[in-house]
Structure 1
Amino acid sequence: MRKKLVIVLCLALSALAQGVTAGPPESAPALTITDRQLEWVGGQVFRNECSSRQSCLVHWNRGEHFPSLGIGHFIWYPEGVDGRFVESFPSLVTYMGTQGVDLPDWLARQAPAGAPWPDRDAFLQAEQSDPRIRQLRQLLADQQATQAAFLLLRAREALNDVAAASANPDRTQEKINGLTATPGGIYALIDYVNFKGEGLAESERYQGLGWGLLQVLEAMPGEASPRDTVLQQFREAAAYVLARRAEGSGRDIEKDQWLPGWLKRVNTYREPSSAP
């Protein structure tokens, strides 16, 4: 069965219709953000994933079995492929439809079935001639704000699930609360959920160890201090978890090529030089 990212939109949809400044439901961890802050976060994610290049909005990385699309490089498995990682692009397409985005007819039909290119070689061969790729790049370039709102919704839902799944929910909630108190912490949470997931899927494990948000939060130490902020603890815990993943994968490409980029990305989890 194909893995689908199920995002609970519920009350958040009506809030987004009026802007994203509204907080989450009372049962959810606090993740309140202004439109301007969300624009900044979306731009940070786009730089992390694509160096802000439009051509990268529809891309197929070497060593991966799926194309990555949008500012968050959302995963879209080819038809018939059931991969290890949680798929997110079909949910983005559904969300864009709920927001009144004019979608190409073929995309609305194709998204649930899977990407139309069976592998990276086929994608690269079609890249210069397939009009669907050009349409997708333009759509995703035009709808960056919608994608940022989707990232926010996913992060809000993830915080609920991660806190509940933790071995120490109260302590994990305290760490989440510390991170949501500043723009840099909010950015780190939103980006990491999109980057490496919630850490809840059993398929996302090497040697029984995950690398998602849950694992990073649980790897963080205890109390923070002025010289050792919650965001710094998160940054260091994320670097540790990602290095552990690369070592446990048994794949040279993860250790030699991917890990340096991952660590560079995690190092951006800092407070902005000027408040967005």
Structure 2
Amino acid sequence: MRNLRTLDDLTLPELQSLLTEADEFAGDAAPVFYHNAVVANLFFEPSTRTKCSFEMAEKQLGIETLSFEVSHSSVKKGESLYDTAKTLEAIGCKGLVIRHPETKYYEQLKGLNIPVINAGDGAGDHPTQSLLDLLTIKQEFNRFESLHVVICGDIRHSRVAHTNAKILEKLGAQVSYSGPSEWMDESIKDDQYLTMDQAVEQADVLMLLRIQTERHDNGSGYSKEAYHHRFGLTENRELRMKPHSIIMHPAPVNRGVELADSLVECRRSRIFKQMANGVHVRKAVLAHVLNLKGEKIYDHVI
């Protein structure tokens, strides 16, 4: 695996192998250390979970992280993304983790000789988020076939929705959608759309999405209260969910909007487990993309 731009870069066996390795990382009591790799994390958009979990994964693998601050870089002088990446390659970085507001930004980097891991591109893809979601679902159900996953919210502007829907269907899950009709993607068929009241009763996995206000031209058009009442997971709706069904959300969560504040850490919620799995998945991805080799050392703890 040379790059991870989208999940299309992976064969299904490679994807399953990554999930297996990530699950092994999740079971280890101590980190695994590798050596002699330097990676630069380039985040052109704000991030907490993705950025910090990549940094934690890198530390636990023994990877040195090169500090790169967009606000203090030559990007502010008009330097292109390609020239920035080539500079980091030239000074010795072995790989780049990049989040960028432009969809398919990685197409500008075809002359690069080091691997790129896509940490989110505009409204395009978010492959490591999808992998951690898949790991969370697999840990819960040990399968994808015949599961009904309902993705709820701002579908059109969500890279999480696009990436997850495609791979889940490939793995045999049934995918449906719920949310404001004006935020549905044009590819969604009529029989894939559910009201939120239908969604809570049918879903094995209810995957809620943040409203992508930064990608809307004129705001969301809904007050927090109105959105929660019409399209959110209220306490009353949660009571109608299947006994085994789970709640997921890529975060950050708008409490009282996408779901009731009391449900963020309820027994069904796997939101913080998703975050923990983000470190395990990103360790597996980094190890594969960078072709890292090393001994497992269990007498050190970060």
Q: Which has the higher contact order (CA 8 A, sep 6+)?
A: 2
For the criterion TM > 0.5, the same-fold answer is no
| TM-score, structure 2 normalization | 0.29
| TM-score, structure 1 normalization | 0.31
Q: From the two aligned structures, give the one with the greater helix fraction.
A: 1
Q: From the two aligned structures, give the one with the greater strand fraction.
A: 2
Q: Which entry has the higher C-alpha Rg, 1 or 2?
A: 2
